[in-house]
Amino acid sequence: AQTIHQWPVAEIKAVGSPLSLGCTIKGKSSPNLYWYWQATGGTLQQLFYSITVGQVESVVQLNLSASRPKDDQFILSTEKLLLSHSGFYLCAWSPTGGDQDTQYFGPGTRLLVL
């Protein structure tokens, strides 16, 4: 069975500090990977997606960047946090092939920027 982990579970960071959030998918080879941002009580905004190692497409520019250094790993980062980065970050995966439109979500990372 596939499992998806996100780390850390939660972070409190200062404005202007760097950030790195991670996501790992186990039990699935070469998945499509996604990062989402969710404001408190809000809708989901897709930030990035990746269909293969080393290749990341940006959907929305929020002064964030993403990388896929390994087949099963997706990293979200920034060198300088803004207050507006606060929220809930969700990683998701979908299989390649026939069911690629179905996305499965991780438990999320809650970020508070002060």
Applying CB under 8 A, the residues found at the interface with another protein are: 6, 42-44, 46, 49, 59, 90, 92, 101-108, 110
Going through 14-86 in order, the beta strands assigned E by DSSP cover: 19-26, 32-38, 44-52, 55-58, 65-70, 73-78
CA distance 89 to 37: 5
Q: Which is nearer to another protein, 10 or 15 (CB)?
A: 10
Least distance in angstroms from the C-beta of 94 to another protein: 9
Least distance in angstroms from the C-beta of 53 to another protein: 20
Q: 45: Cβ–Cβ under 8 A, 6 or more apart, which residues?
A: 36, 37, 38, 60
Least distance in angstroms from the C-beta of 80 to another protein: 27
Q: Which is nearer to another protein, 83 or 98 (CB)?
A: 98
